[in-house]
Amino acid sequence: MIIAETERLRIRAWKESDRDLFFAINSDPKVMEFFPFRRSRAESDALFDRVGKGIAETGFGFFAVALKADDKPIGFCGLALTDLEPHLPKGTVEIGWRLAPPYWGKGYLTEAANALLRYGFEEKGLSEVVSFAVPANTRSTAVMQRIGMHRDPSRDFDHPRVPTDQPTLVRHVLYAISAEEWRAHRSKAGK
């Protein structure tokens, strides 16, 4: 299942052959710098299976991002249903990503995220998409800004699934974009 294609990328369902890349990004210290833990191979494989099942059941989830030229996976980007009540009510859709370090700084995540916002607003009929990260994760918040999201400090929150013994990872800033804001951003960007 292909969700979207861009000039350089294919956003698609995961293939069995993608497991190694999925494990690599979920255990990489640089990729997971702002997360409370790295995943073991068994944990990564279990998550891989859950992500694949969720995509098949709902059409939402973290999709593989692959280079269009050879279908080589380089990371993931997706629209996922979140449930972090009371901070994010059930049914809230977040956009999120992880990318293998050799592919950082090339605009791939911005390209993939823009394609997924189009998918979410045009094909899935979403009214809003959110994203969140620890404040120090400026690489991710920069992508959020480039795709037209705006910070909403009134919705910042302490992540309930982050252990309190890691205080620098508990607080999260929230960015959001509505369907109307997305249309305006696209129009302004001439897309």
Is there a cis peptide before residue 36, judged by omega within 30 degrees of 0? no
Nearest one of 12, 104, 9 to 61, comparing CA atoms: 12
Prediction pTM value: 0.94
CA 7 to chain centre: 19
Burial of 155 (0-12, 13-18, 19+ CB in 10 A): middle
Cα Rg of the chain (Å, integer) = 16
Which structural domain, as residue segments, surrounds residue 153? 2-189
Residue range 54-101, pLDDT digits in tens: 888 888 999 999 999 999 999 999 999 998 999 999 999 999 999 999
Question: Which residue did the predictor score with more confidence, 83 or 4?
Answer: 4
**What is the domain-level CATH number for residue 167?**
3.40.630.30
